């Protein structure tokens, strides 16, 4: 595979952009090598600056559930752009997107639009803290909730410990308010909540973990979080930035029938443009300025282009049967990968909820961050590079989800599986 132009661009990028990328996961650090610079994308395919084409299972890390450059979204954005790209004043479009979100996700009676998942989560937590008059946040190891200071904390070893900052530049005092527990570990959560009930504003969770690979919740995990938080007056926040409109039109909360107090969205709701949203019961959201005293604002929030893309995306996702079809194809891909690995004698643990998939190079079941980390990441790196060399683009990290879009054809899947078998055999 020729990559000379990508290499050249990466060298130039590293001179003016830290690490050459505007978001660290793009840099291929965990698999080695240099990233490919992308020129265009259409449907299931990504094309780089050297003219290579790939079947894409990263899909911009989740948003492109209809594949790249879907005609209805591109048409809508193009038309909207001709009317101006930002007004700094309210539009009918914002009302429509908020209504569509509230209808899809009934726990979000009121919605505030922002520009990213990170922003949505920071803001939801601010509301939770204001409402409960407590500062503590309980999160789970291996769950990612954006790069806000106090969320860049995770446990050291042990069952659950007080958070220590994971990144320089995060004051200890901020991380101090963050507790972490292992995902799916009800006993640990129960103990932590009972010990810190009076300090905790919220428990925040990815209802299907998607940032340590894909780790589905055990049957009792989310119901138990709901019961425990309710009992102690702690708000339950679902970070559905990945799962929202991905695992179900109503998100994971519709799939598992759990009503969180607040929900954060991002990725898919922007149709490939920067949009985030947070919301919850009217009573909670009425605290947000200017209705209430909790300040949160944004010059480009509710941007007409981004919101137009979001509306077009959600309209398409209302197509009857669309999630069933996605899930069927995802099952074909996941089952096929499993069979290919087995035939090639490569131990592989697979996880999948709807069209989000994980494949861990390990023998033991993956239920949390510790078990996810048992994976052979060097083997994954080899797998990744060999697949890439043969035209299949998976995420450049063992600990990221693979996504499917409605644009992936049965032929794409057959080609991917044939390639994977060849690669597995050579591992
Ligand atoms: C991507 C992601 C975020 C952060 O969203 P950004 O738009 O990148 O700020 C937060 N939570 C989860 C679960 C995510 O996957």
CA–centroid distance, 225 to ligand 1, in Å, is 21
Q: Is 261 a catalytic residue?
A: no
In ligand 1, the atom with minimum distance to the C-alpha of 206 is 13
Give the three-state DSSP class for 234: coil
Which residue in this structure is represented by tokens 């697949």? 387
CA of residue 250 to ligand 1 center, whole Å? 18
Chain segment 67-97, per-residue pLDDT in tens: 999 999 999 999 999 999 999 999 999 999 9
Neighbour count for residue 194 (Cβ, 10 Å): 11
- Burial 97-113, CB ≥16 within 10 A → b, else e: bbebbbebbebbebbbb
Residue 239 appears among annotated catalytic residues: yes
Ligand 1 center to 423 CA (angstroms)? 31
Residue to mutate, 24, 211, 240, 266, ligand 1, most ligand atoms under 8 Å from C-beta: 266
pTM above 0.85, yes or no: yes
What is the SS3 assignment for 396? coil
Residue nearest to atom 15 of ligand 1 (CA): 242
> In whole angstroms, what is the distance from residue 404 CA to residue 56 CA?
8
CA distances for 51 relative to 2, 11, 272, angstroms: 8, 19, 23
pLDDT tens digits for 221-234? Answer: 999 999 999 999 99
CA atoms within 13 A on the CB side of 254: 19
Give the separation between CA 283 and CA 295, rounded to whole angstroms.
16
Q: Mean per-residue pLDDT for 338-365?
A: 97
**Protein residue whose Cα sits closest to atom 11 of ligand 1:** 145
Site to probe by mutation for ligand 1, drawn from 241, 263, 397, 402 as the one with most ligand atoms within 8 Å of Cβ, is: 241
pLDDT tens digits for range 141-200:
999 999 888 887 663 333 334 455 677 888 878 888 999 999 999 999 999 999 999 999
In angstroms, what is the span from residue 281 Cα to ligand 1's centroid?
A: 22
| Beta-sheet strands, E only, within 223-266 | 235-239, 262-265
123: Cβ below 6 Å to ligand 1?
no
Determine the pLDDT at residue 156.
36
Domains by residue range for the chain, with CATH: 4-69+320-426 (3.90.1150.10), 71-317 (3.40.640.10)
């Amino acid at each position: 595979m020729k990559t000379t132009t990508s290499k050249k661009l990466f060298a130039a990028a590293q001179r003016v952009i830290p690490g050459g990328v505007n978001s660290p996961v793009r840099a291929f650090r965990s698999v080695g090598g240099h990233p490919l610079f992308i020129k265009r994308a259409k449907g299931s395919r990504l094309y780089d600056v050297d003219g290579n084409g790939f079947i894409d299972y990263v899909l911009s890390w989740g948003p492109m559930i209809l594949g790249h450059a879907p005609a209805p979204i591109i048409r809508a954005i193009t038309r909207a752009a001709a009317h101006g790209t930002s007004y700094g004043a309210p539009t009918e479009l914002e009302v429509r997107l908020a209504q569509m979100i509230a209808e899809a996700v009934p726990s979000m009676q009121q919605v505030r639009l922002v520009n990213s998942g990170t922003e949505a989560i920071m803001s939801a937590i601010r509301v939770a803290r204001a409402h409960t008059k407590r500062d503590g946040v309980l999160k789970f190891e291996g769950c990612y909730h954006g790069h806000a200071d106090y969320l860049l904390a995770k446990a050291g070893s042990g069952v659950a410990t007080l958070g220590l900052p994971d990144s320089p530049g995060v004051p200890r005092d901020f991380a101090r308010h963050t507790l972490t527990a292992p995902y799916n570990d009800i006993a640990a959560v129960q103990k932590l909540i009972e010990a810190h009930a009076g300090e905790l504003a919220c428990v925040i969770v990815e209802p299907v973990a998607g940032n340590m690979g894909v780790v589905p919740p055990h049957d009792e995990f989310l119901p138990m979080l709901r019961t425990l938080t309710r009992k102690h007056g702690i708000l339950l926040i679902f970070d559905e930035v990945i799962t929202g409109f991905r695992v179900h039109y109503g998100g994971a909360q519709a799939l598992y029938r759990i009503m969180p107090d607040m929900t954060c969205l991002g990725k898919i709701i922007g149709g490939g443009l920067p949009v985030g949203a947070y919301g919850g019961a009217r009573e909670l959201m009425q605290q947000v300025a200017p209705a209430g005293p909790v300040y949160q604002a944004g010059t480009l929030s509710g941007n007409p282009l981004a919101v137009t893309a979001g509306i077009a995306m959600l309209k398409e996702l209302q197509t009857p049967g669309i999630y069933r079809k996605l899930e069927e194809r995802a099952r074909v891909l996941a089952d096929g990968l499993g069979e290919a690995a087995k035939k090639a004698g490569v131990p592989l643990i697979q996880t999948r909820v709807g069209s989000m998939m994980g494949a861990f190079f390990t023998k033991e079941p993956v239920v949390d961050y510790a078990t996810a980390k048992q994976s052979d990441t060097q083997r994954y790196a080899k797998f990744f590079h060999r697949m890439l060399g043969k035209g299949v683009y998976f995420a450049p990290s063992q600990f990221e989800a693979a996504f499917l879009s409605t644009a992936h054809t049965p032929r794409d899947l057959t080609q991917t599986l044939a390639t994977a078998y060849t690669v597995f055999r050579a591992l």
